[in-house]
Amino acid sequence: MIRTTSNKIILKKTAFFAAGFLLLALIFLSGAYFGYNQRPAMEKILTVVNKNSQIRSPAAAQTDFEPFWKTWNAIEEKYVSNDGLSGQEMVWGAIKGMTKSLDDPYTVFFPPKEKEMFESQIRGDFEGVGMEIGIRNNALTVIAPLKGTPAHRAGIKTGDVILKVDEKSTMDMTIDEAVRLIRGPKGTKVILTIIRKGEEKTQEISVIRDRIEIPAIETNGISQKDSGDSEEKSSAAKAAEKEIFVIRLFNFNENALAAFRGALREMALSGKNKLILDLRSNPGGYLEVAVDIASWWLPMGKIVAKEKFSDGQEILYRSKGYGALQDISTVILLNEGSASASEILAGALNEHGKATLVGEKTFGKGSVQEIVPITGETFLKVTIARWLTPNGRSISEKGLEPDVAVAITAEDEAANRDPQMEKAIELLTQRL
């Protein structure tokens, strides 16, 4: 989950007043002061490394930076290819190492190229394979392949553990490093070595990269395939099925709000009065989108989520109170690819009694990342808080447990059967 902020810059002026006989001394001091502030930032840091009174951060004040600068100088003096050294790239690498030491896969520094890639993904258009990845149990794991993308067509599944990208092991690899390796120009190939849940053998899956345009939403009524064998159903059950509308929400990106409003208009025109919200393999997105969508079910002021910081402070996010769906019977479908904003929305509607959860335990991505600009071309995505449901349940790692647990087996997939959807339909048809 991501939210953005902007930096506040405070400019301070210092005026100096002195008698005329000190004018020459002041001119000298002013020149020295100007020269000091024109020096590179690294050099200025070096001069205050052991002067704790000049370091504002308590952690920095207790840290000895001398090993860092000794390493820097040794590389510059002794590295065999020092003609090609880039001081700026060394700085970017040092920052990446600093974020990696936190052991948090979601705190990531983005140099210029990675920043551009990240922003293209948020916009919903980029070239790659089309899947969301994360770290689970210290392994690079597929959260969800996006529908209709090369990864989806190649057979990549939620929960697949990626062991290699081409010939490079993913052990100790960060998410942003994996993204850089997996993405690439349209038409090129990447080979993913994966191991699937419940299987002992690894397999190599070849994926041809393409331009990825992430869909926001898909809507439809209930088909015979969705509802299972219709021959054995009563006329009342068949009639009830006709009242069910299905919204499949694929992500919570910047296009999702308009798409969801359009889906609600479509539902209203259809005359259907029961809803299945399919959040399976939805990896999440913006908090604001989750809050806005929850507002269609919840009265004004109801808590959608809590944001808890390390000092115990909590920020509450409340419904805007649109309320158009507050009396609509709703079932939400979830699986282990449902993460972040999906978990926030599902948890809020469930705890407020507005939706029944069906499917499998969710991914458990309940941390908050803030975008902090570092330079004009770089930024830091840093974890600043954890998400809690309205009742205070932590989403991180534990995920959400469904009210009705339904798994999809290999036999179901072979038979093109969807028992989770069937259960959702069954629950709604019982509410005649």
CATH class of 126-213: mainly beta
**pLDDT for 119:** 74
Nearest residue to 353 (alpha-carbon basis) of 375, 327, 387: 327
DSSP code, position 232: G
Please report, for residues 142, 282, 295, the alpha-carbon distance to residue 346 in angstroms, rounded to integers and kept in the order given: 21, 11, 12
Q: Which of 22 and 184 is assigned the larger pLDDT?
A: 184
Confidence of residue 53 (pLDDT cuts 50, 70, 90): very low
Angle ∠(121,124,126) on CA atoms, nearest 5: 60
Show me where the domains of the chain are located.
26-79, 126-213, 217-429
What tokens were used for 146? 């996006």
Average pLDDT, the chain: 82
Angle ∠(420,156,263) on CA atoms, nearest 5: 50
For residue 21, with 0-12 CB atoms within 10 Å meaning exposed, 13-18 middle and 19 or more buried, which class applies? exposed
Q: Which of 149 and 117 is assigned the larger pLDDT?
A: 149
Per-residue pLDDT tens digits for 356-370: 999 999 999 888 888
Same fold? 126-213, 217-429: no
Domain 217-429 sits in CATH 3.90.226.10: yes
Report yes or no: 207 and 190 within 8 Å, Cβ to Cβ: yes
Can you tell me the distance from the alpha carbon of 170 to that of 134, in angstroms, rounded to the nearest whole number? 12
Please report, rounded to a whole number, the percentage of residues in the chain having pLDDT higher than 90: 46
* Over residues 109-114, mean pLDDT: 84
What tokens were used for 243? 């009242």
Per-residue pLDDT tens digits for 154-206: 999 989 999 999 999 999 888 878 988 998 999 999 999 999 988 989 999 99
* Over residues 13-23, mean pLDDT: 36
Angle ∠(385,352,308) on CA atoms, nearest 5: 10
Concatenating the DSSP letter of every residue in 236-295 gives HHHHHHTTEEEEEE--BSTTHHHHHHHHHHHHHHHT--EEEEE-TT---BBHHHHHHHHT
Amino acid at 374: I
Can you tell me the distance from the alpha carbon of 12 to that of 179, in angstroms, rounded to the nearest whole number? 41
Per-residue pLDDT tens digits for 58-98: 667 678 888 888 988 888 888 887 667 788 888 888 998 89
What tokens were used for 141? 């794991």
Nearest residue to 378 (alpha-carbon basis) of 96, 140, 183: 96
Instruction: For strands 161-165 and 168-169, give the pairing.
Output: antiparallel
Cα 289 to chain centroid, rounded = 13
Please report, for residues 271, 274, 428, the alpha-carbon distance to residue 239 in angstroms, rounded to integers and kept in the order given: 13, 12, 12
**pLDDT for 157:** 92
At 112, is the secondary structure helix, strand, or coil? helix
**pLDDT for 366:** 86
Report yes or no: 283 and 251 within 8 Å, Cβ to Cβ: yes
Can you tell me the distance from the alpha carbon of 159 to that of 190, in angstroms, rounded to the nearest whole number? 19
Q: Which residues contact 412 (CB under 8 A, 6 or more apart)?
A: 418, 419
What tokens were used for 127? 């070239």
Q: Which of 256 and 48 is assigned the larger pLDDT?
A: 256
* Over residues 139-159, mean pLDDT: 91
DSSP code, position 83: G
Can you tell me the distance from the alpha carbon of 97 to that of 26, in angstroms, rounded to the nearest whole number? 43
Report yes or no: 163 and 169 within 8 Å, Cβ to Cβ: yes
Can you tell me the distance from the alpha carbon of 337 to that of 26, in angstroms, rounded to the nearest whole number? 66
- In sequence order, the β-bridge partners of residue 110 are 379
Confidence of residue 242 (pLDDT cuts 50, 70, 90): confident
Amino acid at 340: S
Total residue length of the chain: 432
Helix, strand, coil tally for the chain in percent (to 5): 35, 25, 40
Per-residue pLDDT tens digits for 28-37: 444 444 443 4
Which of 20-29, 181-190, 253-262, 348-357 has the least mean pLDDT? 20-29
Can you tell me the distance from the alpha carbon of 429 to that of 432, in angstroms, rounded to the nearest whole number? 6
Report yes or no: 260 and 131 within 8 Å, Cβ to Cβ: no
Instruction: For strands 367-375 and 356-359, give the pairing.
Output: unpaired
**pLDDT for 237:** 54
Q: Which of 27 and 231 is assigned the larger pLDDT?
A: 231
**pLDDT for 32:** 40
Q: Which of 147 and 193 is assigned the larger pLDDT?
A: 193
Cα 218 to chain centroid, rounded = 21
What is the side-by-side order of every strand in the sheet holding 329-334? Answer: 217-221, 244-249, 274-278, 329-334, 356-359, 404-405
Q: Which residues of 253-269 are buried (b: 16+ CB within 10 A; e: fewer)?
A: bebbbebbeebbeebee
- Determine the straight-line distance between the first and last CA of the chain, rounded to whole angstroms: 37
**pLDDT for 86:** 84
pTM for the full predicted model: 0.71
